[in-house]
Structure 1
């Protein structure tokens, strides 16, 4: 009995129904029309998952606007753009968007990863921050930790060397006097944005203390 019931469920009609449901669910969903409430809810949802600069947040929202306007051609693009601007201003006023806090957190995170000042600038610019905002964030970090640019760059380079096992962190000290190894490692530092002087000082050091001076 149980077996015959199972066979009945596998009939061509039932299979067709399942395939029809699959094709319906597999269709590409049409982008939502742009409204003030839709952008507000979508923006809140984004900021609950990611931190962002004001400029980056607007880029994310504008991607939604472009997709929506391409699908709903009766929408006015400039009107939708104005809604995004208004939302970003409102979120900034409420503190949901705070470029100064975002810049500080990102700069600190990148420093701890062993990024060079040049790499930090590039990454923070990519995330929608202006040069003056980046400078202020880095200066404030220096004040908080009582360090200067040179110290911070050396410490970041040390973290990079430790992470990549370069210089004094080579496995078993292998290649310490090999010019080809030194050249290869100098290249790695250069690609990461560190100066030749900083890289060479660390690569020729025997330990952490030597590398910091």
Structure 2
């Protein structure tokens, strides 16, 4: 039988540390070392710290928000935060994973990227693929199908799983025609 050591430890659980400007800046730099981030996403991460500190230590939320805003402006001027570069890199990465334009836009909106940057990044991706004579959305659907072994990438029971495969592509944001082409293709070269 497994014993949960957290409940049996003699040390009390530590609460959040007080959100001082120094701690917030260290937290921001540590976060940016590990993750690419939009300005709004970093603001949310740091505000969660301020909120926790306000509940535990009575930290002034307004003062914390003002410091975070000035910190983000400083990081933008220094080039540590660049929403346009973040959007372009994230669009490319998510496209390679097999996400549709709609799914990519939704994920970027969740991270607080402005709509005009999302549109500009998606259009740049489409232009890049048009120059190569390819359809970006169809290529993303193929990437997803390859990764999930759908359509021509499924080895057995293709007909039995046809509806399930169509639904999986639909949930990823691909239109019915694209999903049908992928699922009904006999070979990868047909696509």
Q: TM-score over 0.5 for the alignment?
A: yes
Superposed displacement of residue 139, structure 1: 1.6
Gaps of 5+ in 1: 1-21
Answering whether residue 178 of structure 2 is matched by residue 198 of structure 1, we say: yes
Return the TM-score normalized by structure 2: 0.88
Size of the aligned set, in residue pairs, is: 183
Q: Is 1:65 paired with 2:50? A: yes
Q: TM-score, normalised by structure 1?
A: 0.79
Superposed counterparts of 1:180-199, under 5 Å: 180-199=160-179
When Rg is computed on C-alpha atoms for both structures, the one with the higher figure is 1
**Shift in Å, 1:28:** 2.2
CA distance in 2, matches of 1:100, 1:161: 29
Which structure 2 segments of 5+ residues have no match? Answer: 1-8
What RMSD over aligned residues (CA atoms) do the two structures have, in Å?
Answer: 2.0
Find the aligned partners of 1:84 and 1:40 in 2 and give their Cα distance: 8
Deviation at 1:39, TM superposition (A): 1.4
Encode CA deviations 1:103-139: one digit per residue, 9 max, x unaligned: 1111111011011111111111112212211111112
1:100 paired with 2:72, answer: no
Residues of 2 paired with 1:53 and 1:198: CA distance? 31
In the alignment, which of 37, 40, 55 is matched to residue 22 of structure 2? 37
| Cα shift readout 1:37-96 (whole Å, capped 9, x = no counterpart) | 2211111111111110000000000000001111112x3211111111111111111111
Structure 1 position 151 matched with structure 2 position 135: yes
Aligned residue for 1:77?
61
Distance in 1, Cα, partners of 2:92 & 2:184: 27
Do 1:186 and 1:200's aligned partners in 2 also have CA atoms closer than 8 Å? yes
Instruction: Please report how far the alpha carbon of residue 101 of structure 1 lies from its aligned counterpart in structure 2 after TM superposition.
Output: 0.8
CA distance in structure 2 between the aligned counterparts of 1:28 and 1:149, rounded to whole angstroms:
58
Tell me if the contact between 2:87 and 2:108 (Cα under 8 Å) persists in the aligned partners.
yes
